[in-house]
């Protein structure tokens, strides 16, 4: 994708990314109801885990028929590729926007007690919780489409500013649901709209991030550099997930407390996570406005390369991966060690 997207013109820009996310969303829309029904009727995840382990094997025969137009490029040894990646990371046009991508992901800390509140506090069923996931996934795909057909000419920086602000507003609206102030709406419908809007906003951010990463890859090491950029966001999301679980220990948001109707801790946790989520507004200026702005950054009057900037960027990514691995191993060896509900 990183290679082929470079050949897109302004008229068909990001078509490939939109197609990928649309197909992914369609797959989720099909499998979520099936997995929910299977889990409910067969009393457990055995069939789902078996399907997840075996279905990908059916892809193997189709790989043989994939066609690829090969282009002769200079062959880099492993050492040369690492050197090229280092030069790429030190370029300001790379580390500046990617540091925003990293911090954007790290600070997207969710309220880890929210699902437990919906289940124990409001009595949502498993099917209702899965319906929230399904509806949110569908609106995320809709957000991708809206960006492609409506918002594509907007400034990336403007999109992130508006999206982060609205995400904070709708995150605070969860306080109304906690207090039972839903304006006469059924709590499920209120939660459906609240979470759906946040997923929609997230969808409008996916394609700008993908387009930005594609236009940062240098020739010859497209795969390695694009893997680095996507790992940056994935590692940041892993850190955010771990942090959201750690925050559960600050206030009492246990299952028993929520069942008893005590939502004081949950309210405070919602305020805290909302404040964290909107913090990236302070450095949103790191985001370029567009692809042309990226090109201007390459040839601007400021220094185009910084060893310090590249070092900080790579260290952040590396430490995030180590942190995510540490959390994953501890969760297996010692479940509940982070006060998870």
Name the percent of the chain lying above pLDDT 90.
17
pLDDT tens digit string along 219-228? 777 778 888 9
Q: Is 159 within 8 Å of 205 (Cβ atoms)?
A: yes
Lowest mean pLDDT among 116-130, 230-244, 277-291: 116-130
Sequence spans of domains, the chain: 4-333
Give the residue with greater pLDDT, 336 vs 20: 20
207 or 71, which is more confident: 207
Q: Taking residues 60-89, what's their average pLDDT?
A: 77
Looking at domain 4-333, which of 1.20.1250, 3.40.960, 1.10.260, 1.10.3470 is its CATH number? Answer: 1.20.1250
Residue range 286-339, pLDDT digits in tens: 888 887 777 777 665 445 778 888 999 999 999 999 998 888 888 788 876 665
Listed as own residue / partner, the contacts of 172-179 with beta carbons closer than 8 Å and 24 or more positions apart are 172/270, 172/271, 172/274, 174/111, 174/114, 174/270, 175/267, 175/270, 175/271, 177/122, 178/117, 178/121, 178/263, 178/266, 178/267, 178/270, 179/263, 179/267
Query: What are the tens digits of pLDDT across the range 160-205?
Result: 999 999 988 988 888 888 888 888 888 888 888 877 888 888 888 8
Positive or negative: CA dihedral 172, 176, 178, 184: negative
pLDDT of residue 11: 67
Can you give the pLDDT at residue 236? 92
């Amino acid at each position: 994708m990183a290679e082929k997207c470079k050949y897109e013109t302004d008229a068909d820009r990001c078509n490939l990314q939109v197609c990928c996310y649309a197909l992914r969303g369609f797959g989720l829309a099909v499998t979520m109801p099936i997995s929910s029904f299977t889990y409910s009727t067969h009393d457990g995840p055995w069939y789902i885990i078996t399907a997840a382990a075996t279905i990908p094997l059916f892809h193997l025969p189709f790989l043989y028929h994939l066609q690829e137009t090969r282009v002769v490029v200079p062959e880099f040894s492993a050492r040369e590729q690492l050197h090229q990646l280092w030069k790429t990371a030190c370029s300001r046009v790379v580390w500046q926007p990617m540091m925003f991508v990293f911090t954007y992901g790290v600070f997207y800390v969710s309220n880890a007690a929210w699902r437990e509140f919906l289940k124990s506090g409001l009595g949502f069923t498993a099917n209702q919780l899965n319906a929230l996931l399904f509806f949110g996934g569908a609106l995320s795909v809709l957000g991708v489409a809206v960006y492609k057909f409506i918002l594509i000419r907007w400034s990336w920086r403007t999109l992130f500013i508006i999206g982060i602000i609205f995400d904070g507003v709708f995150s605070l609206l969860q306080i109304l649901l906690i207090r039972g102030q839903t304006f006469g709406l059924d709590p499920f419908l209120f939660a459906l709209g609240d979470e759906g809007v946040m997923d929609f906003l997230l969808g409008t951010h996916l394609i700008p991030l993908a387009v930005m990463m594609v236009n940062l890859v240098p020739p010859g090491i497209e795969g390695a550099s694009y893997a680095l950029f996507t790992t940056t966001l994935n590692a940041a999301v892993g850190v955010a997930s771990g942090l959201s679980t750690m925050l559960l220990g600050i206030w009492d948001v246990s299952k028993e407390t929520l069942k008893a109707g005590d939502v004081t801790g949950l309210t405070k946790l919602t305020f805290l996570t909302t404040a964290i989520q909107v913090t990236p507004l302070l450095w949103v200026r790191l985001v370029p406005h567009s692809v042309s702005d990226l090109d201007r950054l390459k040839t601007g009057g400021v220094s185009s390369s910084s060893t310090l900037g590249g070092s900080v960027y790579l260290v952040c990514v590396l430490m995030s991966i180590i942190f995510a691995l540490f959390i994953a191993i501890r969760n297996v060896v010692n479940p509940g060690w982070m006060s998870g509900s």
